[in-house]
A and B are shown apart, each in its own frame.
Chain A
């Protein structure tokens, strides 16, 4: 190796191979791959050996075997004669149901509380602050137990249910709501609504064009309300109100008819939406505060009304800040719904990773399938988020 101090006229020779960053990188990566390979090799061989020793056969054949247990709540026809495969579907659908309803409720609660915390009304702002600070800082599991055991568990029996207008009932067996039953002519109202939706889409394009051309903004909200609500309602009444309500009735010791919400689902929804709502409220608040006050001043000084300012200036900019953390809260809500296990709501973890795994002992397959479900949900939500971020990010000129 030549010392550059002595041969200053020559170019410094290439560094030795163990100091060349390129070869070093290659070397480290080869080591990593080898280590990973060894890790997974020993993992797989250990697992296969252990399973053989315990007499568990590998493979997905167990999915078509008879399950032999009942599930508390199912969105598809299911009985103990169904297969283990259908326990997977039942659990998955229950998870999706609670995720979907939970997201809607948490969003409503979170936006209300986030805006309320910014209210000029002192009482309302303080109530919202207390709500956020209390529920954000208590573990979700405790909250679920609280709703399930301490609140829903001490409700009266079916005979002494709490009722609202004799239509809605709440007792220890769950909540009961009237179910809408569509009759023959209901299809017309549906068609009218779809037409209204399409018409609203075109109306908004027309309104935008008109605003660009003339500077005047047509009352789009009124038009949309008319098209989406008034017109379908008119059709509904003209076609003779073809909708009846299936009201739950006390039959024996329990209610029959209507929509039944089992207490497990009710507690889970309460817990998830109140807990996640507190986080969403903080996101909404910081999103609104992130819009500089100068924006509002500028909007008012060019002659927008306060309502227009909110709608056209503040909210679009606040949403840009709100949406990314909001989606990750949605993701958290779906993942947290797995705590259903603790209060026996039959979601995918409770049914499939719990009961089915205990009965079959197919730990590897079942864990992989369950985690796969959550990974697919997470990845699709984060793909959506990336797409949305790209669409909404500031286009700088």
Chain B
């Protein structure tokens, strides 16, 4: 009988249980159906991705004095179309000499907002309050001008990405308090207050934003006493605020319902009045809980701001779609304009949705048992 006295060296694991081949086998070619699906998916990608990359990057024209440079066989996107008039895309018709004002307002907001995202900042609530209450007033006077020696700039000159950001930020600032009050009203025990809140919320949630904007631009002048009138932007803002408040109210109501009854009872046992118990006990908890939901409504609002194009305001989409494309020297670059504005909105919305997801995860852990 033969008995070996040598220990054989360890063999590497079989090729098909590790490495890329194994991964391919398990994830892509685990059966006939899966194989067909994979091949179909790869075919789809082959059909879409290389032409898109070519059009957007490799074949694109970045610098061009005239339209002819962009035109021609095998030429991709004409980004020069956007780059040459980038100022207008950012600011609309805002006078060039005054553009430092929105810039300052924007930088100020970013500087104010950064500490909010840092875990250890003390007194975050006060900072958030400052951003939501005091900052908008400062920013308005800065951008609108007319006082403190600043040249007044009419709102019909506002435009571009600046206008998009202003509308959505002002929308959330004005709609948030209204939404909170409506949410409280809907949970009130007073029958008239409650039914008023319900009717108000369901009315605005039941109609499309376009009809609201139409109403604001066509009917608001009819509703007001003779002689009073708002400019177009203010009318749109009124419509957006009412519309958005209804959605915020529903989000906040979700938060209010999630607060255990014991909190309400404890607050009144402490002898707090209704408003004090709401302001000091219930709302701080409820609002923290619904921040992800609020971010989601904000994303929806941000996307909805494009609709102001229909009532004649020039947000970033309207600038590329109506102003840039009407330039006789640069006709025929609709697609570039649309892809560019889609990209701008996508960046903002994607970043915000990621932020809201990470918040959800962070808030979620507190409730796990």
Chain A residues close to B by CB (< 8 Å): 25, 28-29, 32-33, 36, 42-43, 46-47, 49-51, 53, 119-124, 127, 133-134, 136-143, 145-146, 149-150, 153, 335-336, 338-339, 341-342, 349, 353, 357, 363-364, 367, 370-371, 374-375, 378-379, 382
With A150-B335, A367-B219 given, can you name 14 additional A-B contacts, CB distance below 8 Å?
A50-B222, A50-B224, A119-B37, A123-B38, A137-B299, A137-B350, A138-B303, A138-B342, A139-B303, A339-B307, A349-B208, A371-B207, A375-B203, A379-B202
Of the candidates B208, B210, B225, B342, which one forms a contact with A142 in the assembled complex, judged by CB atoms under 8 Å apart? B342
Distance to closest chain A CB from B308 (angstroms): 10
A150 to B341 alpha-carbon distance, docked (Å) = 14
A378 contacts B205, C-beta separation under 8 Å: yes
Total A-B residue pairs with C-beta atoms closer than 8 Å? 154
A194 to B100 alpha-carbon distance, docked (Å) = 72
Residue of B nearest to A39 (CB): B223
Q: List 14 A-B contacts (CB under 8 A).
A: A51-B222, A120-B30, A121-B30, A122-B27, A137-B345, A138-B349, A139-B342, A142-B306, A149-B338, A153-B334, A338-B210, A339-B307, A374-B207, A374-B208
Of B30, B222, B339, which is in contact with the most chain A CB atoms at under 10 Å from its CB?
A: B222
Residue of A nearest to B347 (CB): A137
B219 contacts A363, C-beta separation under 8 Å: yes
Which residues does chain A contribute within 8 Å of B192, judged by CB atoms?
29, 32-33
A25 to B192 alpha-carbon distance, docked (Å) = 10
**Given A46-B224, A140-B303, A364-B222: A338 touches B345 (CB 8 Å cut-off):** no
**Given A142-B341, A349-B210, A353-B211: A137 touches B27 (CB 8 Å cut-off):** no
A139 contacts B317, C-beta separation under 8 Å: yes
A293 to B224 alpha-carbon distance, docked (Å) = 59
Of the candidates B28, B210, B307, which one forms a contact with A122 in the assembled complex, judged by CB atoms under 8 Å apart? B28
> From residue 192 to 246 of chain B, which have CB atoms closer than 8 A to chain A?
192-193, 196, 202-203, 205-211, 214-215, 218-219, 221-226
Which residues does chain A contribute within 8 Å of B206, judged by CB atoms?
374-375, 378-379
A338 to B213 alpha-carbon distance, docked (Å) = 12
Of the candidates A121, A134, A150, A370, which one forms a contact with B211 in the assembled complex, judged by CB atoms under 8 Å apart? A370
A49 contacts B189, C-beta separation under 8 Å: no
Which residues does chain B contribute within 8 Å of A49, judged by CB atoms?
225-226
Which residues does chain A contribute within 8 Å of B189, judged by CB atoms?
25
Which residues does chain B contribute within 8 Å of A120, judged by CB atoms?
27, 30, 34
What are the 10 tightest A-B residue pairs by CB atom distance, in nearest-first order? A378-B206, A137-B349, A123-B41, A335-B208, A139-B303, A150-B335, A338-B208, A29-B192, A122-B27, A139-B306
Distance to closest chain B CB from A116 (angstroms): 9
> From residue 25 to 40 of chain B, which have CB atoms closer than 8 A to chain A?
27-28, 30, 34, 37-38
B155 at the interface (CB under 8 A from A): no
Residue of A nearest to B343 (CB): A138
A121 contacts B190, C-beta separation under 8 Å: no
B221 contacts A50, C-beta separation under 8 Å: yes
B210 contacts A341, C-beta separation under 8 Å: yes
Of A123, A150, A342, A374, which is in contact with the most chain B CB atoms at under 10 Å from its CB?
A: A123
B218 contacts A357, C-beta separation under 8 Å: yes
Which residues does chain A contribute within 8 Å of B221, judged by CB atoms?
50
Residue of B nearest to A342 (CB): B310
B140 at the interface (CB under 8 A from A): no
A379 to B203 alpha-carbon distance, docked (Å) = 10
Number of B residues with CB within 8 Å of any CB on chain A: 55
A259 to B153 alpha-carbon distance, docked (Å) = 53
**Given A29-B190, A137-B345, A349-B208: A121 touches B38 (CB 8 Å cut-off):** yes
B130 at the interface (CB under 8 A from A): no
Which residues does chain A contribute within 8 Å of B41, judged by CB atoms?
121, 123-124, 127
A367 contacts B346, C-beta separation under 8 Å: no
A143 to B37 alpha-carbon distance, docked (Å) = 27
Which residues does chain B contribute within 8 Å of A370, judged by CB atoms?
211
B45 at the interface (CB under 8 A from A): yes
Which residues does chain A contribute within 8 Å of B225, judged by CB atoms?
42, 46, 49
B277 at the interface (CB under 8 A from A): no
Distance to closest chain B CB from A319 (angstroms): 22
Residue of B nearest to A334 (CB): B208
Distance to closest chain B CB from A327 (angstroms): 13
Which residues does chain B contribute within 8 Å of A367, judged by CB atoms?
211, 214-215, 218-219
Of the candidates A32, A138, A149, A339, which one forms a contact with B334 in the assembled complex, judged by CB atoms under 8 Å apart? A149
**Given A29-B190, A146-B338: A374 touches B211 (CB 8 Å cut-off):** yes
Distance to closest chain B CB from A280 (angstroms): 16
Distance to closest chain B CB from A353 (angstroms): 6
B42 at the interface (CB under 8 A from A): yes
B44 at the interface (CB under 8 A from A): yes
A46 to B206 alpha-carbon distance, docked (Å) = 26
What 0/1 readout, one digit per residue, does chain B (325-357) give for beta carbons within 8 Å of chain A?
000000000110011011001100110010000
Distance to closest chain A CB from B358 (angstroms): 15
Distance to closest chain B CB from A104 (angstroms): 20
A367 to B215 alpha-carbon distance, docked (Å) = 7
Which residues does chain B contribute within 8 Å of A33, judged by CB atoms?
192
B304 at the interface (CB under 8 A from A): yes
Which residues does chain A contribute within 8 Å of B27, judged by CB atoms?
120-122
Residue of B nearest to A134 (CB): B346
A145 contacts B345, C-beta separation under 8 Å: no
Residue of B nearest to A53 (CB): B226
Which residues does chain B contribute within 8 Å of A353, judged by CB atoms?
211, 214
A339 to B317 alpha-carbon distance, docked (Å) = 14
**Given A121-B37, A124-B41, A150-B334: A142 touches B307 (CB 8 Å cut-off):** no
Of B202, B203, B346, which is in contact with the most chain A CB atoms at under 10 Å from its CB?
A: B346
Which residues does chain B contribute within 8 Å of A371, judged by CB atoms?
207, 211, 215
